[in-house]
Structure 1
């Protein structure tokens, strides 16, 4: 049975099934994310990921599909699948452009689609799951995903968005089961990428790398290959291999030369390797093309590490403004915003954001963010509990171990602090331009254990 046949609903729809397959293959894969850096993307001809479309408006297939669907809906305003597909495209456009104003538009279209037809409308059900996940509302995302899978249990993309919701809700066993179901239905770049992440979360970086290499080998075209190179680069960087990360980013850019995500990855590796002028140039270009908050913050911290305080503060102001826009667009702020406030802003605000983030997204990153926010507010006993929770799956994260080390130091446990600092730097000695040098300095100053 082909994927299009698996996705065929019981009732006849009036839009080409290839477009539906394409929309779901991309939208649901990206909406919940892999828990890693965002991949601004649109669909390729194969219906998977395109690194080129976001910053190349002339050949942007997502924009072209939006235009075509808008034209179609002017003639057939009650086409349930067209409404849902356009809503899903708007979710993608919001992620690709860092513009949350698309989310209310997406919700209106998806709910209209469900009002027209709900019984077997897995496209809209999956679209609502994608929308809620993009807004970091993971409990309703899980509910929508379950409804969609109940309608169409043989759709691998729907299994993927189910896995994403389970992951972000901290239900890692159920997430792994959903990923395995996705792989069984359709082994390929989206499913193997998720399998890689399942392994990474439990600290098995060798398996994560092997699965991501398989994703690269199975890639359907240049866009998928660029995507795989991006995450292979992330695995390399997070394992302390910035040279390998740079090589993967460069390989990815040869496949997808307009990818902003790969440009950011290249800059991250360049900064770790000490070629800061190149890193600033690449990050600046990335921010100018798609001002993802992650990229803005990375540029600010790189400037700060070089003593360029005024330029750093300019980026931090942009980051704050973006967070306000996301909150106004219905996005629940969590770990990124909490860590930013803890490191560069108001510790009390950090704690408020982190507590809310953990309620809606009880994922490892949320536990780490709450731990750090509690630490910056002087509540280290509570902080240590949350930091331990962030590392409970065995994830190899230099940042998580660094945070726990400083919490332990504040509690007077220098031996434990030394152990975690040593491990953080062994995992990735250049994990952050601000925190890695501080980790080395603190480790050097810690009294020797008796």
Structure 2
């Protein structure tokens, strides 16, 4: 890994792609993936719309630099199977391909490549160590990710991307002060889009959205190309939407799509803003395009809930079945399910299973999302006293989350605390009155009813 790695690549844990000889590819391969931010949430690449493990047509590699690099590395390793650097680079590309295509079957391939690389070079192989950290983070094994990141930094303490990986692990483990320190070290080593975007997330977690926007705007200003612009516009759109400004959210998403027209994540952001602005047909069209290109589970679930909010239950159920199948595929390939799966089961599936998933998720990822998911799963099962404790943990950092406040409001209402419920419902709708196509209308109705009953 080099300090000249690319800025936060193409998307969701930005998808970064390049094609170079193995010796040089390591610079990009590691930077590519490790430049992304787990805390910021991974995202699909904009350049491909097909599952890489399917029978892709032969011409795809020419249009998809990541696939082309994988093919080139595989050919190189057939002639030089003991090239530890090439093996580590291949492993990183497999991890990125898993994120790019929503195909977790790449994770076992990545692990095999890293382990072979580490067998060949045990001592100074910070590339494979950093790659293992990225892999374990992708599988939601954050304690292991932290261990590998520390090992890599012990070998190369001046590589900014490794501190990004360290920060990501600390963040997901709920060790927010240590995460902020790692991000500061990353910024000190190399101020730029990858480090500034993480600094933005640190600020967002503590509820400082003004600083979060400023840092992300700086990341946009430092963008080295369309991939960086895509990344920054996506998160600027998310920041705007999550704070009740879908108009700005739509504008940022559209600006990003001008730089990266095939971006699935920007289509998803655009659809969220459109739905909030009452443009349901356009939202369905954009989100469908995103899911058809790369069926990221969170996008599939979002499409299902959008269909359900519009009364199109058959289409909603189809998307929910796809989501269930994807969760099984991820679990079968070593990924620990957590908040998304738990919330899905609480809202649309098996409520008892929701608690099981949420508890397991919290054990491996004691992040604020995991506390909220367990709170909601417990509430769905009538365990509201414990649910309130978890909900308080979700909001303990001061994060501005309409969903978290809505969940706590419903828990407070079930506990017979109408005044507290009104407070949280008011906070939720003040933060973002359109936070969910299904639950925001319920929040409005609940607040109206509580207000009338208290009059």
Q: Shared topology, TM-score over 0.5?
A: yes
Instruction: State yes or no: 1:428 paired with 2:423.
Output: no
What do the CA deviations read for 1:358-406 (whole angstroms, capped 9, x no partner)? 0000000000000000000000000000000000000000000000000
For 1:120 and 1:161, locate their aligned partners in 2 and report how far apart those are by CA, in whole Å: 18
Aligned to 1:328: 332
Instruction: State yes or no: 1:353 paired with 2:357.
Output: yes
Q: Given that residues 54 and 60 in structure 1 are in contact (C-alpha distance below 8 angstroms), is that contact kept between their aligned partners in structure 2? A: no
Q: 215, 218, 223: which is aligned to 2:227?
A: 223
What do the CA deviations read for 1:108-161 (whole angstroms, capped 9, x no partner)? 000000000010000100000000000000000000000001000111010100
Aligned to 2:39: 34
Query: Which stretches of structure 1, 4 residues or longer, exceed 2 Å deviation after superposition?
Result: 2-5, 14-18, 51-59, 447-450
Q: Which 5+ residue runs of structure 2 have no aligned equivalent?
A: 6-19, 51-59
Q: Judging changes above 3 Å, is the alpha-carbon distance between structure 1 residues 150 and 15 closer, same or farther for their aligned structure 2 residues?
A: farther
Matched residue SS, 1:332: coil
Q: Given that residues 61 and 68 in structure 2 are in contact (C-alpha distance below 8 angstroms), is that contact kept between their aligned partners in structure 1? A: no
For 2:364 and 2:21, locate their aligned partners in 1 and report how far apart those are by CA, in whole Å: 35
For 2:290 and 2:367, locate their aligned partners in 1 and report how far apart those are by CA, in whole Å: 28
Aligned to 2:136: 132
Instruction: State yes or no: 1:236 paired with 2:240.
Output: yes
With the length of structure 2 as denominator, give the TM-score of the two structures. Answer: 0.92
For 1:254 and 1:107, locate their aligned partners in 2 and report how far apart those are by CA, in whole Å: 36
Aligned to 1:267: 271
With the length of structure 1 as denominator, give the TM-score of the two structures. Answer: 0.93
- The 5-angstrom pairing of residues 411-426 of structure 1 reads 411-426=415-430
Matched residue SS, 2:38: coil
Q: 171, 187, 200: which is aligned to 1:196?
A: 200
For 1:448 and 1:405, locate their aligned partners in 2 and report how far apart those are by CA, in whole Å: 16
What do the CA deviations read for 1:27-86 (whole angstroms, capped 9, x no partner)? 1133x52344x3213xxxxxxxxx435668642111111111111111110000100100
Q: Judging changes above 3 Å, is the alpha-carbon distance between structure 1 residues 444 and 225 closer, same or farther for their aligned structure 2 residues?
A: same
Q: What is the deviation of 1:258?
A: 1.1
For 2:396 and 2:107, locate their aligned partners in 1 and report how far apart those are by CA, in whole Å: 34
Q: Given that residues 23 and 86 in structure 2 are in contact (C-alpha distance below 8 angstroms), is that contact kept between their aligned partners in structure 1? A: no
Q: Given that residues 429 and 436 in structure 1 are in contact (C-alpha distance below 8 angstroms), is that contact kept between their aligned partners in structure 2? A: yes
Matched residue SS, 1:3: coil
Aligned to 1:379: 383
Task: Give the length in aligned residue pairs.
Answer: 430
Q: 254, 266, 276: which is aligned to 2:258?
A: 254
Aligned to 2:182: 178
For 2:39 and 2:270, locate their aligned partners in 1 and report how far apart those are by CA, in whole Å: 19
Q: Given that residues 40 and 198 in structure 2 are in contact (C-alpha distance below 8 angstroms), is that contact kept between their aligned partners in structure 1? A: no
Matched residue SS, 1:34: helix
Q: What is the deviation of 1:449?
A: 3.9
For 1:209 and 1:26, locate their aligned partners in 2 and report how far apart those are by CA, in whole Å: 24
For 2:4 and 2:385, locate their aligned partners in 1 and report how far apart those are by CA, in whole Å: 54
Aligned to 1:45: none
Q: What is the deviation of 1:105?
A: 0.4
Aligned to 1:341: 345
For 1:403 and 1:232, locate their aligned partners in 2 and report how far apart those are by CA, in whole Å: 25
Aligned to 1:277: 281
Q: Given that residues 15 and 81 in structure 1 are in contact (C-alpha distance below 8 angstroms), is that contact kept between their aligned partners in structure 2? A: no
For 1:128 and 1:21, locate their aligned partners in 2 and report how far apart those are by CA, in whole Å: 16
Q: 206, 211, 214: which is aligned to 2:215?
A: 211
For 1:440 and 1:423, locate their aligned partners in 2 and report how far apart those are by CA, in whole Å: 12
Instruction: State yes or no: 1:362 paired with 2:357.
Output: no
For 1:180 and 1:292, locate their aligned partners in 2 and report how far apart those are by CA, in whole Å: 31
Aligned to 2:56: none
Q: Judging changes above 3 Å, is the alpha-carbon distance between structure 1 residues 74 and 250 closer, same or farther for their aligned structure 2 residues?
A: same
Q: What is the deviation of 1:20?
A: 1.4
Q: Which 5+ residue runs of structure 1 have no aligned equivalent?
A: 6-13, 42-50
For 1:18 and 1:208, locate their aligned partners in 2 and report how far apart those are by CA, in whole Å: 34
Indicate the RMSD between aligned Cα atoms, in angstroms. 1.6
